[in-house]
Amino acid sequence: MTRSDARKPESDPLPYLSSIELNRDGVFKNGVSGTVTSVSYFKEYVTHFSIWLYSEPCMKVWFNAGGEADTEQTIVITYSECHFGGYRPWFLCPGLRGHYCKQRVGKLYLYSGEYACRRCHNLTYKSRMRNPRSIITSLGSLMDNQTKAANLMAHLRTVSYAGLPTKKLLKIYKLIGDNEKLSTNVSPERMRKELGMKT
């Protein structure tokens, strides 16, 4: 963690729009409307959207950022060609307070009443705030890995393809292997010492 990161808000708990998740849900079609609901700091945020794919593909969003009236934004959608065919949608960051950013991003975060990219909002990641040598970090990583592995296992449909393990199964193995390494750093003696507890 650097001193500059310590002064930045974290992006992880903020409401966001993800082009990958929306594309997976099949919403990038002309005229499609819907809502994205997220919870941040025990408060529910609902963002409504409509997709327009005419001369300039865009997504119109409106949401309540805490004021009396809803806030409206227009987010331009762009596409990149995938290596194995097809196209992947991206957002062009609308910037803050009329300053157009145009950076191509997969996520836009709702902060200070506007959707914008991580750079415009000057956000950092939770992982950059952690001390990698801290036992609390090790415990947090253990729990995160267990949750990720459990979620992957719940959605695991097949374990092999063409005689080889699937990417999802390999990811589960990696998470389990990472946890085995982390568990060697989390001993009761070290925990008591770092937390200032009597042995």
Same domain, 44 and 103: yes
Looking at the structure of the chain, the number of domains it has is 2
Range of the domain at 45: 3-121
What whole-number distance in Å separates Cα of residue 102 and Cα of residue 120? 11
pTM: 0.60
- Asked whether the predicted pLDDT for residue 183 surpasses 80, the reply is no
CB atoms within 10 A of CB 93: 23
Provide mean pLDDT across the span 120-132. Answer: 67
Same domain, 54 and 139: no
- Asked whether the predicted pLDDT for residue 153 surpasses 70, the reply is yes
- Asked whether the predicted pLDDT for residue 12 surpasses 60, the reply is yes
Same domain, 106 and 52: yes
- Asked whether the predicted pLDDT for residue 20 surpasses 80, the reply is yes
Same domain, 117 and 170: no
Domain final residue pick, 121, 139, 167: 121
What whole-number distance in Å separates Cα of residue 11 and Cα of residue 31? 30
Per-residue confidence (pLDDT) for residue 128, from 0 to 100 = 52
Provide mean pLDDT across the span 137-150. Answer: 78
Same domain, 25 and 53: yes
Same domain, 135 and 86: no
Would you place residue 3 in the very low, low, confident or very high pLDDT band (cuts 50, 70, 90)? Answer: very low
* Domain-embedded: residue 177: yes
Would you place residue 1 in the very low, low, confident or very high pLDDT band (cuts 50, 70, 90)? Answer: very low
Per-residue confidence (pLDDT) for residue 130, from 0 to 100 = 53
Rama region for 91: left / alpha / beta (φ>0; ψ in -120 to 50; rest): beta
Same domain, 151 and 68: no
Query: What's the chain's average pLDDT?
Result: 81
Per-residue confidence (pLDDT) for residue 180, from 0 to 100 = 82
Same domain, 91 and 148: no
Same domain, 37 and 65: yes
